[in-house]
Amino acid sequence: MTRVLVTGAGGFIGHHLVKYLVEKGYWVRGVDIKEPEFEATQAHEFELLDLRRWPCCLQATRGIDEVYNLAANMGGIGFIETHKADVMHDNVLINIHMLEAARLNGVGRFFFTSSACIYPGYLQKSAEVTALKEADAYPADPEDGYGWEKLFSERQCRHYWEDYGLETRVVRFHNIYGPLGTYDGGREKSPAAICRKVALAEDGGEIEVWGDGQQTRSYCYIDDCVEGIHRLMRSDHREPLNLGSDRLVTVNELIDIVEGAAGKKVRRRYDLSKPQGVRGRNSDNTLLRKVLGWEPAITLEDGLGETYRWIHGQLELTGRIGATPVTSGT
């Protein structure tokens, strides 16, 4: 069995990736500073380690064939806009330590999870944004803080291949969402936040929306995400690659879809004082299709439906909303 390490295995994407790789027949060690929040890990071995610390990275990579490095200090736009020093400090330490530990311990392949936040702000000033190609990363003007540390670590991966022959793979995520992710507390992404707000609101009630609702994004469901990660790791493509949907929607359209999943309508109170990020961002999947012969296929309606039902269920379990009545015949 190929022995793989998934860092960030206590987080949203890492937890799903562990399950996917175990089902594929890999032996999996999960590492994080916390265990998964919503269900037990399926990793064959799970270690609580602080990967900002060099000895912990050496321990995590012992006896490992391949590393999927997802560990990061991150959250939604509200978090990364207000914790730039912590985000850059923690994530750069994790990434450079993990690369060097992987090299010293003879790891064969190293997967790094970057972000669409590396793309230049000057290309994302319009809601009708032109989809972002991988080559658009330079001349560089990434998102302040989080985007810069991701772009730096992309380069470090490249140099570890050039200088040491470590096979590195780099993916640029575009707004990954789905069940078992953070949905409250400040670190949640916009799909989870909207699902929570709609679930908590009465039919005809009001929710707060950050911005004017016309900012645009594309969203990729978690099942597509982990499949794309595995496909890229098995490929021979060493340059960064987008992983996301190329369906561009406004935040208002995102709310419309969540309303459909909830079977209710809500009024929207727009708050222009809250962090909004870039005006528009979308993934150009031309290279993804060429390299992998594949692209994300789960619709936003299906993915948000699953996500809404899971978040609604969590709010029921924690007593924040009443149990949904079961009607006759259902």
Name the residue ranges covered by the structural domains of the chain: 3-177+220-243, 190-217+247-281+299-317
For 257, half-sphere exposure in the C-beta direction (CA atoms, 13 angstrom radius) is: 19
Contact residues for 322 (Cβ-Cβ < 8 A; gap 6+): 316
pLDDT at 76: 82
Helix H segments across the chain?
A: 12-23, 54-60, 77-80, 84-104, 146-164, 190-200, 222-234, 251-262, 286-292, 300-317
pTM over 0.85: yes
Under DSSP, the state recorded for 132 is B
pLDDT at 75: 84
pLDDT by 10s per residue, the chain, length 330: 999 999 999 999 999 999 999 999 999 999 999 999 999 999 999 999 999 999 999 999 999 999 999 999 988 888 889 999 999 999 999 999 999 999 999 999 999 999 999 999 999 999 999 999 999 999 999 999 999 999 999 999 999 999 999 999 999 999 999 999 999 988 899 999 999 999 999 999 999 999 999 999 999 999 999 999 999 999 999 999 999 999 999 999 999 999 999 999 999 999 999 988 899 999 999 999 999 999 999 999 999 999 999 999 999 999 999 876 433 343
Six-digit token string for 22:
């175990």
Distance CA 135, CA 124 (A): 15
Cα–Cα distances (Å) from 177 to 3, 8, 51, 187, 301, in that order, read 27, 16, 24, 13, 12
pLDDT at 324: 62
Six-digit token string for 84:
């730039």
Residue 95 Rama label (left phi>0; alpha psi -120 to 50; beta): alpha
May I ask the CATH architecture of the domain 3-177+220-243? 3-Layer(aba) Sandwich (3.40)
Distance CA 121, CA 119 (A): 7
Distance CA 249, CA 214 (A): 9
Fold of 190-217+247-281+299-317: UDP-galactose 4-epimerase; domain 1 (3.90.25)
pLDDT at 326: 39
Distance CA 212, CA 13 (A): 29
Burial level of 7, CB count in 10 A (0-12/13-18/19+)?
Answer: buried
Residue 187 amino acid letter: R
Which residues participate in catalysis according to the annotation?
146
Contact residues for 247 (Cβ-Cβ < 8 A; gap 6+): 218, 219, 300
Q: Is 107 helix (H, G, I), strand (E, B) or coil?
A: coil
